[in-house]
C-alpha cells in the first residue's frame, strides 16, 4: 500500500523530539544525493518532487489543504544518531472521505540532514466521492499531458520508468484510445521483460510493487532500489469506480531509486562519523600536583 509508512509509530511520536541525554553537538556537512530524475525530466505530484527538502514539502502540502476541514497532519521528527540534530524523516496529511466529499492523503519520506533531507518517496491517494468520480479517459489524458507517453499501461496501472534523464520506452506507443483499452488488461509481458537487465533481473514493475509494501525508510528500501534496472519510477493506479469507465480511487507513487541508494550510502557514512565523534575520549591533561 502506498500509505504504509509506520503510521502507528508516527501517531505515537510527539510534535517535537528532545535531544537524548548525552547528545553531542555535531556539525553536519550535508551532501546532496544523486537522483534518478535528472536532466530535463523532473516530474512532480502536486508540486512535490525529489527537489524538495522536508521544510519546502510541508509548505506545499499545507498550501494544498488550506481551508479544507478535517485534515490530519502527522509530521514525524527524530534525532540524527545520538546528536542534538533533529529532522523530519517523513510526513503524512490525511483528509478522510465522506459520502459527499472525496478523501485524500499525501505521504512523503525524506533522507537525513547528512544527505540534505531530500524526498525519495512521494505518494498521493484520492478516494473520489461517488458523484465526483472522473472518467478514466479524462485522467489518462491528463497524465499524458503532464508526464508524457507512459512506459507501460496495464492491470489498472500507468507506469513511467526513468533512466539517464529520460522516460524508458519499450515500444508501447500509447494513444488516447489504446491507453484506455490497455488500462484494464494485463501488462504486456514482453514489454515488462524488456525492462529487465541483460541477465533477466531487475524488474522495474516488480520493484515498484514491492516498494509499495515496504516501510518507507532508506534501510528498508535500499536493496530493492539497488536491484531495480531503472533509476526512478512514477506509478499511477486507477481503480474502477461506480461504473467501469470511471475512477473510484487514484493512487500516485513516485520513487527515486537512485536517490535511495545514494542517500543511504551518504547517511551510513555520516552516522558512522557521528558515532566515532561521540566515542572519542575527552581531551584533558593531568592536574598540577
Report whether 133 contacts 238 (CB < 8 A). Answer: no
Q: Decide: 28 and 270 in contact? Cβ < 8 Å.
A: yes
Q: How many domains does the chain have?
A: 1
**Within a domain: residue 25?**
no
Q: What is the pLDDT of residue 2?
A: 41
Cell 514525524, residue located: 76
55, with CB counted inside 10 A (0-12, 13-18, 19+), is: exposed
**Domain-located, residue 93:** yes
Q: Rounded CA gap, 18 and 136, in Å?
A: 47
Q: Is residue 119 part of a domain?
A: yes
Contact present, 187 and 216 (Cβ < 8 Å): no
What stretch of H or E contains 141? Answer: helix 136-147
Helix (H, G, I), strand (E, B) or coil at 24: strand
Q: pLDDT tens string for the chain (289 positions)?
A: 444 433 333 333 344 455 454 555 567 889 999 999 988 889 999 999 999 999 999 999 999 999 999 999 999 999 998 788 899 999 999 999 988 899 999 999 999 999 999 999 999 999 999 999 999 999 999 999 999 999 999 999 999 999 999 999 998 889 988 999 999 999 998 998 889 887 778 889 999 999 989 999 999 999 999 999 999 999 999 999 999 999 999 999 999 999 999 999 999 999 888 877 766 645 555 566 5
Q: Which residue, among 255, 225, 232, has the nearest Cα to 109 in the 3D structure?
A: 255
pTM (predicted TM-score):
0.86
Report the b/e string of 146-166 with b at 16+ CB within 10 A.
Answer: ebeebbbbbebbbbbbbbeee
Residue 22 lies in a domain: no
76 vs 88: CA distance, rounded Å = 6
Domain span holding position 44: 38-277
Give, for 226, the enclosing helix (H) or strand (E): helix 218-227
Is residue 3 assigned to a domain? no
The count of residues in the chain is 289
pLDDT of residue 95: 97
Structure confidence at residue 49 (pLDDT): 95
pLDDT score at 4: 41
Asked if 181 and 171 touch (Cβ cutoff 8 Å), the reply is no
Buried b (16+ CB within 10 A) or exposed e, 256-287: bbbbbbbbbbbbbebbeebeeeeeeeeeeeee
240 within some domain: yes
Q: For residue 110, which of 88, 130, 125, 94 has the smallest C-alpha distance?
A: 88
Burial of 235 (0-12, 13-18, 19+ CB in 10 A): buried
Domain for residue 50, yes or no? yes
Cβ 162 vs Cβ 231: under 8 Å: yes
The answer to whether residue 81 sits within a structural domain is yes
Q: How far apart are CA 124 and CA 251, in angstroms?
A: 6
d(C-alpha 63, C-alpha 165), whole Å: 29
State how far the Cα of 5 lies from the Cα of 121, in Å rounded to an integer: 10
Amino acid at each position: 500500500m502506498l500509505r504504509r509508512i509506520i503510521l502507528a509509530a508516527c501517531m505515537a511520536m510527539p510534535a517535537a523530539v528532545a535531544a537524548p541525554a548525552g547528545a553531542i553537538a555535531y556539525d553536519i556537512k550535508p551532501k546532496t544525493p544523486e537522483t534518478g530524475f535528472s536532466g530535463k525530466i523532473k516530474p512532480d505530484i502536486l508540486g512535490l518532487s525529489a527537489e524538495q527538502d522536508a521544510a519546502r514539502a510541508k509548505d506545499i502540502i499545507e498550501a494544498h489543504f488550506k481551508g479544507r476541514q478535517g485534515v490530519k497532519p502527522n509530521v514525524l521528527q527524530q534525532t540524527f544518531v545520538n546528536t542534538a540534530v533533529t529532522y523530519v524523516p517523513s510526513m503524512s496529511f490525511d483528509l478522510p472521505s465522506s459520502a459527499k466529499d472525496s478523501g485524500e492523503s499525501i505521504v512523503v519520506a525524506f533522507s537525513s540532514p547528512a544527505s540534505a533531507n531530500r524526498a525519495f518517496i512521494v505518494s498521493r491517494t484520492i478516494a473520489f466521492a461517488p458523484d465526483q468520480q472522473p472518467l478514466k479517459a479524462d485522467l489518462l489524458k491528463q497524465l499524458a499531458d503532464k508526464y508524457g507517453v507512459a512506459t507501460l499501461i496495464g492491470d489498472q496501472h500507468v507506469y513511467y520508468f526513468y533512466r539517464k534523464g529520460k522516460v524508458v520506452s519499450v515500444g508501447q506507443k500509447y494513444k488516447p484510445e489504446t491507453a484506455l483499452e490497455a488500462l484494464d488488461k494485463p501488462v504486456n509481458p514482453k514489454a515488462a521483460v524488456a525492462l529487465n537487465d541483460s541477465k533477466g533481473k531487475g524488474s522495474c514493475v516488480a520493484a515498484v510493487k514491492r516498494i509499495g509494501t515496504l516501510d518507507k525508510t532508506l534501510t528498508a528500501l535500499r536493496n530493492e532500489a539497488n536491484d531495480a534496472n531503472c533509476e526512478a519510477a512514477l506509478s499511477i493506479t486507477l481503480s474502477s469506480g461506480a461504473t467501469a469507465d470511471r475512477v473510484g480511487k487514484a493512487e500516485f507513487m513516485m520513487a527515486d531509486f537512485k536517490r535511495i541508494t545514494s542517500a543511504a550510502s551518504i547517511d551510513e557514512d555520516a552516522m558512522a562519523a557521528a558515532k566515532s565523534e561521540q566515542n572519542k575520549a575527552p581531551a584533558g591533561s593531568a592536574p598540577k600536583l
